[in-house]
Amino acid sequence: MKRVFVVEVERCIACGKCELACAFAHGSPSRPSQSRIHIVRRGPEVGIPVVCFQCHEAACMAACPVEALVRNEATGAIEVLYDRCVRCRQCVQACPFGNMQWDDTEHRVQKCDLCGGDPRCVSFCPTGALSYVPVDRLAHREDETPSQVHP
């Protein structure tokens, strides 16, 4: 069943657990700054989780000269094929939301890959600000609160 990543900004308390979970899930436990999700902090308990939108018509994919960015049909995530990537960073420049990042330590681009269909950030969010829900449940949520939806 197709799922979407949902961010309910009003629930975020800027705790940073999502950033830590992401860093651990991607082998960077000592570098939460290299997380693929970031909290833009607007005070001690107010934040906005920022993560890849997995755009339908993704500028990052269009900009890649070697087709190293591909959509995982099972999860809907745009993933980086590192064996194809030439590290030109055109995808980083092309993303209008700043969600493609350059990792100075690994010398490669990185972005949210939805953890293969089980986003770790979701399970560690204490307030339910992050969820990965079936598309059919999304229709019920649209009437409740405004959210960022990432197909």
The residues spanned by each domain of the chain are 3-150
Backbone φ, ψ for residue 138 (5° rounding): -65, -35
**Strand, coil or helix: what is 41?**
strand
Q: What is the DSSP letter of 39?
A: E
Is pLDDT larger for residue 70 or for residue 106?
A: 70
In terms of phi and psi (left: phi > 0; alpha: psi -120 to 50; beta: otherwise), the region of 20 is: alpha
pLDDT in tens, 31-81: 777 799 999 998 888 899 999 999 999 999 999 999 999 999 999 999 999
What's the token pair of residue 51?
A: 């993560």
Report pLDDT for 142: 53
pTM confidence score: 0.84
Q: Is the pLDDT of residue 151 over 80?
A: no
Class of the domain covering 3-150: alpha beta
Tell me, what's the pLDDT at 39?
93
* 24 pLDDT higher than 60: yes
Strands (E), the chain: 3-7, 38-41, 47-50, 69-71, 78-80, 101-103, 108-110, 130-134, 148-150
With 90 as the cut, is the pLDDT of residue 100 above it? yes
How many angstroms separate the CA atoms of 17 and 130, rounded?
11
Tokens of 24: 């651990």
Lowest mean pLDDT among 52-56, 93-97, 124-128, 147-151: 147-151
In eight-state DSSP terms, residue 90 is H
Decide if 125 contacts 56 (C-beta within 8 A). Answer: no
